Amino acid sequence: MRIGIFGGTFDPVHLAHLRVAEEVAEKQRLDRVWFVPAGRPPHRRTPQATPEHRLAMVRLGIAGNPLFKALDCEIRRPGPSYTVDTLGLIKQQHPQDKLFLLVGMDQLMELHSWHEVHRLLSLCQVIAFSRPGQPLPMPEQILGPGGLPLPTRAYLVQSVSALDVSATAIRQRARKRESINYLLPNSVIRYIQKYRLYTRSSL
Ligand code: ATP
């Protein structure tokens, strides 16, 4: 099987995440896309919603799509969530399958600073997708282990439909009690309302 691994904070999951997963799966002929909400992401500040809420929202958001599944391995593991550990674990459990790591172009540009990037690249092929407003870098600007240009065979770039949706904007709108309709699935909106997520002032 060809398995896509899509990590993120998903604070909350929104329609652009789902659309990216759908389009990458279609174009790259992935048999599965597994969403992996980060527990404690090492590269960014602590998410606002708890890991359990973020996982629950991902589960609601992907419900009904047989290709999609949510993994709780990063939120169950103590300490920082390193993608390489997640990939290692999945590879151990699925040695015959080919793993593809879905990353935004912003993350691809930071790949050289990720934990054990050399091992990470031995475990998967990276699929980077564009995000609205982000210029496509030149290949020599994309760095891998040791800060050297990442070999082009290690990754591919796929453009996806530009949907200008971000979790930050959704949290901001929720905090100001503005509508978040049509930015994320209704089931996730209901969950946010039920648990009064994102109504505090920290973004
Ligand atoms: P935040 O606004 O809190 O930073 P986010 O909306 O960027 O969150 P993440 O959970 O950080 O969501 O995203 C996971 C991945 O999805 C990242 O690689 C990110 O670049 C990508 N992504 C998020 N929103 C979009 C979008 N509108 N279009 C394309 N990619 C996106």
pTM for the complete prediction?
A: 0.94
Q: How far does the centroid of ligand 1 lie from the alpha carbon of residue 64, in Å?
A: 22
Ligand 1, closest atom to CA 168?
2
Residue 106 lies in a domain: yes
Structure tokens at 101: 């790591």
Q: Name the residue range of residue 37's domain.
A: 2-163
Structure confidence at residue 21 (pLDDT): 98
128: enclosing H helix or E strand: strand 125-129
CATH code assigned at 31: 3.40.50.620
β-bridge mates for residue 163, sequence order: none
Q: Give Cα 160 to chain centroid, integer Å.
A: 14
- In this structure, the residue with its CA closest to atom 14 of ligand 1 is 8
Give the residue among 31, 4, 1, 40 at the shortest CA–CA distance from 20.
4
Q: How confident is the model at residue 202 (pLDDT cuts 50, 70, 90)?
A: low
Ligand 1 pocket test target in 17, 44, 197 with most atoms within 8 Å of CB: 17
Domain presence at residue 183? no
Q: For residue 137, tell me if it sits in a domain.
A: yes
Q: How many domains does the chain have?
A: 1
In the DSSP assignment, the letter for residue 4 is: E
Return the best residue to mutate from 6, 15, 18, 20 for the ligand 1 pocket (most ligand atoms within 8 A of CB).
20
Q: Return the pLDDT at 133.
A: 72
Taking only the tens place, the pLDDT of each residue in 170-189 is: 999 999 999 999 999 999 99
Q: What is the mean pLDDT of the chain?
A: 92
